[in-house]
Amino acid sequence: MADRSRLCTVWLGSETGILKGVSVTRKQAFNFCNTSHLSRDQEVRALCWGDPAESEVLVGSVDGTVKTFSTEKGQFTDSRRCGGPADGGFTGLALCGAALVTCGECGTLRVWREDSSEPALELSAGNNVCRMRQSPVHRDRVATGGKDNGLKIWDLQKPDAPLFTAKNLRDDWLDLRRPHWVRDLAFIPDSDKVVTCTGYHQVHVFDPSSPQRRPVLEVEYGEYPLTALSLPAGGSTVVVGNTHGQIALLDLRKGVVRGCLKGLAGGVRGLQCHPTLPVVASCGLDRFLRIHSLEDRTLLHKVYLKSRLNCVLLASRDLEDGRGAAGEGGSQEVKEEEEGGEDEVWDTMERVEEKPKRKTTEEEEEELQKKKKSKKKRKKGQD
């Protein structure tokens, strides 16, 4: 179990409540489940790293519990009750020092300390919050946005009023109020700016340091709501996904579509770019994890995971580095452990191996080629 979790470089949360770890090199997916009995209440809505060393994953479920999963040990170590099912699912999880920041769909943003079961800080970010994210630079700044709820940047030290409230776009040519629905947002690493993607297929860039509260840049893509957003390491591009499964790379300097990533058949629920490699992982309602390369927009890996996926989390270490700290002996140990068998409900289905199936398709291809050759020979004979 522990070895399996150490191999995984991509973590995904599904609608059935299972935390899935995928090892890209070995093309295997593992299920990690807290209870032996699944339920839809445990649907995973938010994932984030529990510590900077990335040895713990925090899993937020619909019923309001936040569970800690240790990648070293390979099991769930802790579970906390942070709000109830009435809050709606988690829309964001973040770690601020030793405190946990959570935000639910009803809009209440809470800061929890390690020991107490009551939130240390509670503030209301409006109704219908769709996403909450933490700034990578200033660890105590968070941004929230939702349906008819504009972007707000909060400083947790001064919870009374947001640092920055975005103004809605100008009224359109009929003087009607433009509808506003922030689905996902991200902080641009080197500056103060925030990128948001909306349900009305727009991407906005806000700059809190400028006096303008309206978006600095607006880009439109497609005709369907944009559900997920991620920033690659470069800084001037953004990757967005919409409900139709179209993923596009947009340029933030010019406001132009650079290219599209193909392959997804269902709505995109989670997108994440790798911190160092030019690679993006996407997951969605079609039950597949896809890893695309950002340079040439080709599909690198595709893994079938049997449930609809809600969120994805990438490890900072190299994707191909499946072994992690363990050396060659580690792989042997892994094999022995896997053959050993453990008392788990998911024993039979923990491994999704594609290698043997690949071999059979290769064999079939070889046979087909042989048959074709023999047929060609026959034709020559007839003539």
At closest approach, how far in Å is the CB of 56 from other proteins? Answer: 24
* DSSP letter string, 343-382: S-TTTTTS----HHHHHHHHHHHHHHHHHHHHHHHHHHHH
Tokens of 182: 């922030």
Among 244, 258, 297, 317, binds other proteins (CB under 8 A): 244
At closest approach, how far in Å is the CB of 310 from other proteins? Answer: 11
Q: Are 163 and 119 in contact (CB under 8 A)?
A: no
* DSSP letter string, 103-135: EETTSEEEEE-SS-SSEEEEEE--S-EEEEEE-
How far, in Å, CA of 341 to CA of 356, rounded? 20
At closest approach, how far in Å is the CB of 83 from other proteins? Answer: 23
Q: Which phi-psi region, left, alpha or beta, contains residue 127 (left: φ > 0; alpha: ψ -120 to 50)?
A: beta
Q: Is 117 an interacting residue with respect to other proteins (CB under 8 A)?
A: no
Among 348, 355, 356, 377, binds other proteins (CB under 8 A): 348
Q: Is 282 an interacting residue with respect to other proteins (CB under 8 A)?
A: no
Q: Are 183 and 226 in contact (CB under 8 A)?
A: yes
Handedness of CA 63, 151, 164, 175 (dihedral sign): negative
Nearer to other proteins, 340 or 381 (CB): 381
At closest approach, how far in Å is the CB of 129 from other proteins? Answer: 17
How distant, in Å, are the alpha carbons of 326, 333, 363 from that of 356? 25, 21, 11
Span of 57-65, 208-216, 249-257, 302-310 interacting with other proteins by CB under 8 A = 302-310
Residue 76, SS3 per DSSP: strand
Q: Is 346 an interacting residue with respect to other proteins (CB under 8 A)?
A: yes
Q: Is 374 an interacting residue with respect to other proteins (CB under 8 A)?
A: no
Among 258, 306, 323, 351, binds other proteins (CB under 8 A): 306
Which residues, listed in sequence order, are joined to residue 90 by a DSSP beta bridge? Answer: 104
Q: Is 260 an interacting residue with respect to other proteins (CB under 8 A)?
A: no
Q: Is 23 an interacting residue with respect to other proteins (CB under 8 A)?
A: no
How distant, in Å, are the alpha carbons of 69, 163, 213, 231, 338 from that of 190? 31, 19, 20, 12, 44
Nearer to other proteins, 137 or 368 (CB): 368
Return the residues of window 198-227 that contact other proteins according to CB under 8 A: 199, 223-225, 227
Nearer to other proteins, 18 or 111 (CB): 18
Among 89, 263, 275, 278, binds other proteins (CB under 8 A): 263
Nearer to other proteins, 76 or 224 (CB): 224
Q: Is 145 an interacting residue with respect to other proteins (CB under 8 A)?
A: no
Tokens of 22: 């995928």
Q: Is 262 an interacting residue with respect to other proteins (CB under 8 A)?
A: yes
Return the residues of window 49-88 that contact other proteins according to CB under 8 A: none
At closest approach, how far in Å is the CB of 76 from other proteins? Answer: 18
Span of 15-23, 68-76, 111-119, 213-221 interacting with other proteins by CB under 8 A = 15-23
How far, in Å, CA of 188 to CA of 210, rounded? 15
Q: Please classify residue 374 by burial: count the beta carbons closer than 10 Å to its beta carbon, then call 0-12 exposed, 13-18 middle and 19+ buried.
A: exposed
Among 219, 285, 291, 311, binds other proteins (CB under 8 A): 285
Residues that bind other proteins (CB under 8 A): 15-16, 18, 31, 38-40, 199, 223-225, 227, 243-245, 262-263, 265-267, 285-287, 304, 306-308, 345-346, 348-349, 354, 357, 360-361, 382-383
